[in-house]
Amino acid sequence: MNCKISRLIIIIAVLVAMIFQSCKVSKIPVVMDMSSDENNSPMIVFLTCLLNYDSVRRNYNMSLVSKQDVEGKIKDTYAEGQEKGDFGYRILNQKKQLISQKYMPCPLDKNVEYVDEQGFLQRKDIRLNSTEVFLRLQLMPEMHYIAFDRHKQQLLLINLRK
């Protein structure tokens, strides 16, 4: 009987040892570069701008509400801007030369769907006096400025490096 208990203890010890051995994490040396600065990590810039339309003077004004730079990378998407449009933005280099340009529909123009008194779905186009415009960009090393335009008239120029 003592022999059976001894064998059982040995078998249990071997099984426990095998379990711990299989759960053992392999030690892979990790080399961390402590000298890397934050300029090498990808950055995303979030811009919030206020767009106003003065119906008396018939002009547009745009101002920067907030700019936030965060570390990260935007996932690749295939959503491209329009080829032409009323509003757009230009990405400029340090010498304010064009890198890229995108167009968008007028942020002040909204299409509203509603149910009328007869229960039918209706659409109505409305023009807002003001709205916030949100833009998220992957910040590349050559990007220094962003300019918002309407019909090739510059509304706002933002220094992305400040």
pLDDT digits (tens, 9 = 90+) for 46-101: 999 999 999 899 899 999 999 999 999 988 765 555 567 789 999 999 999 999 99
User: What is the per-residue pLDDT for 25?
Assistant: 44
Q: Which CATH class is domain 44-159?
A: mainly beta
Please check whether residue 135 is in contact with residue 49, taking contact to mean a CB–CB distance below 8 angstroms.
Answer: yes
User: What is the per-residue pLDDT for 137?
Assistant: 93
* Least confident window among 2-11, 31-40, 52-61, 80-89: 31-40
β-bridge pairing 59-71 and 43-54: antiparallel
Written as one letter, the residue type at 10 is: I
One-letter-per-residue 3-state SS of 41-99: CCEEEEEEEEEEEECCCCEEEEEEEEEEEEECCCCCCCCCCECCCCEEEEEECCCCCEE
18 or 23, which is more confident = 18
38 or 36, which is more confident = 38
* Least confident window among 34-38, 40-44, 124-128, 141-145: 34-38
Token couple for 63:
């101002």
